[in-house]
Amino acid sequence: MLGMFMCMCMLSLCTMIFSWEVVQCGLFFLSFLSIFFIYCFSSFSCLSVMMGGDLLSFSLISLSCWICSLMLLASYKIYMNNFDSEKFSFLVILILIFLFLSFGCLDLLMFYVFFECVLVPTFLLIIGWGGQPERLQAGIYMFFYTLCASLPLLVGILNLYGKSGSMVYYVLMLNGSEMEMIWFFIFIIAFLVKLPVFLLHLWLPKAHVEAPIAGSMILAGILLKLGGYGLFRVLFLFQNFVIYSGGFLLSVGLMGGLFTSFICLRQVDLKSLIAYSSVGHMGMVMGGIITLNSWGCSGALLLMIAHGLCSSALFCLANLVYERFYSRSLMVLKGLMSIFPMLAMWWFLFCVFNMAAPPSMNLFGEIFLMMSMISWSRWTMICLILLSFFSACYSLFMFSSTQHGKSWMMFPFNEIKVREYILLLLHFVPLNFLVFNLDLWSYWF
């Protein structure tokens, strides 16, 4: 773990000295090294008093390394045009370092610091390399929306330290008083905004629409998972309060996912549709974590990993189309199957994986989550059936709207390059081949 951190620091220096290819190879090396950590340290391991982790931490660190390496591969146009490529690479490595420290930190206060530090390079990515003038508004909207929601979390952490004398996850012991019930909601509101759940999601579509492809990939692939990771840690500290408020939080997650599914069916912007679908999936993740049983927590972890890969691939596909036709409107993007037949296959695969079709990890994650939530309350079955149905509806709507119909494109455009097919393949392989080792994630809790 310490070696990985040193490698990340070295990579941040390499961005100023070596070429894009060297940094790219270094990130892929880190990705495979992090996968090795998953198999070697599947139980809790402690590096120091403040640093350590379990399978949850190492899995999300591996996902972070993999997505960051794919971010550079997807942003090759920045390096070809030499559009501040060294600064761009440095920001990507900086995001990875902060994510590593967030997922590997055992101290609540340090987790809060790194949790907020991730926002700064992400904000700079959006305003520096976004394609539209509205990127500044979207970046400020995201920054202040998440920062203001996190300020009560800092007060709660300091109050918790005053009561218990410690800020380490595994040392904290809480007394079930009325005051702590209030602090429970103060704690989780910051993570519900980052997740995000319905009604607290308003920053997400704005940020996705104005962000460059690297910004969209890191937002959908990793930053939303910070909210899920925080919920994992905090809810286990407040287990006695989850018994009383779990039904309310579960209904917020499921009903919010259902409402965002309706919104997806009315979208005409391709990136907005993918962004709103993330809110629905994260609602199911929240429901699984609330149950606090082995099926729910394992399913939440599986779906977070699967969603990070699938949504990142969908944003890559949307970016491939945008770079050639300069439009995200579903009214304009018609008949892509006749123009790019090979790309239509990738559109179909990732759209059906987004609706949890076999053999992807999405299917197994949703099965685990459904079993856990139905065991919590049988009434959730109605909402889960509707959520699965409308998830299939908007996924197939996205595929049919872009691939079928008459194309209106009358000007020449570039063909899909081999590098872009490799980018999609590197999303596809872990999303489907990790199902052969599901027992690693199924019994971590």
Q: Tell me which residue has tokens 């519900």.
A: 192
Does the pLDDT at position 6 exceed 60? no
What is the pLDDT averaged over residues 23-30? 83
Instruction: For residue range 195-217, list pLDDT tens digits in order.
Output: 888 888 889 988 888 899 999 99
Structural domain span for residue 2: 1-443
Q: Which residue has the higher pLDDT, 50 or 119?
A: 119
Q: Under DSSP, is residue 132 helix (H, G, I), strand (E, B) or coil?
A: coil
| DSSP per-residue codes, 335-348 | -HHHH-HHHHHHHH
Query: Mean of the per-residue pLDDT values for the chain?
Result: 86
| pLDDT the model gives residue 181 | 76
| pLDDT the model gives residue 17 | 53
| pLDDT the model gives residue 8 | 55
| pLDDT the model gives residue 279 | 92
Dist CA 329 CA 321 (whole Å): 11
Instruction: For residue range 405-415, list pLDDT tens digits in order.
Output: 887 766 667 78
At residue 11 the predicted structure's pLDDT band, cuts being 50, 70 and 90, is: low
Dist CA 400 CA 377 (whole Å): 36
Nearest residue to 364 (alpha-carbon basis) of 295, 422, 414, 424: 295
Nearest residue to 370 (alpha-carbon basis) of 277, 291, 264, 259: 291
Instruction: For residue range 178-200, list pLDDT tens digits in order.
Output: 456 788 888 888 899 988 888 88
Amino acid at residue number 68? C
| pLDDT the model gives residue 259 | 94
Nearest residue to 277 (alpha-carbon basis) of 177, 129, 190, 388: 388
Does the pLDDT at position 304 exceed 90? yes
Going by C-beta distance under 8 Å and a sequence separation of 6 or more, which residues neighbour residue 179? none
Burial of 362 (0-12, 13-18, 19+ CB in 10 A): buried
Q: Under DSSP, is residue 406 helix (H, G, I), strand (E, B) or coil?
A: coil
Q: Are 308 and 66 in contact (CB under 8 A)?
A: no
Number of compact structural domains in the chain: 1
Instruction: For residue range 373-382, list pLDDT tens digits in order.
Output: 999 888 899 9
Among 105-114, 134-143, 412-421, the range with the most confident prediction by mean pLDDT is 105-114
| pLDDT the model gives residue 9 | 56
Q: Tell me which residue has tokens 């989780």.
A: 188
Going by C-beta distance under 8 Å and a sequence separation of 6 or more, which residues neighbour residue 223? 118, 122, 194
Q: Which residue has the higher pLDDT, 299 or 23?
A: 299
Does the pLDDT at position 386 exceed 90? yes
| pLDDT the model gives residue 13 | 53
Q: Are 126 and 215 in contact (CB under 8 A)?
A: yes
Task: Respond yes or no on whether the N-terminal peptide bond of residue 359 is cis (omega within 30° of 0).
Answer: yes
At residue 44 the predicted structure's pLDDT band, cuts being 50, 70 and 90, is: low
Going by C-beta distance under 8 Å and a sequence separation of 6 or more, which residues neighbour residue 95? 68, 118, 121, 122, 125, 218
Quote the strand ranges of 322-421, DSSP E. Answer: none
What is the pLDDT averaged over residues 325-351? 91
Dist CA 328 CA 172 (whole Å): 48
Task: Respond yes or no on whether the N-terminal peptide bond of residue 121 is cis (omega within 30° of 0).
Answer: no
Cα dihedral sign for 402, 407, 409, 415? positive
What is the pLDDT averaged over residues 135-163? 85
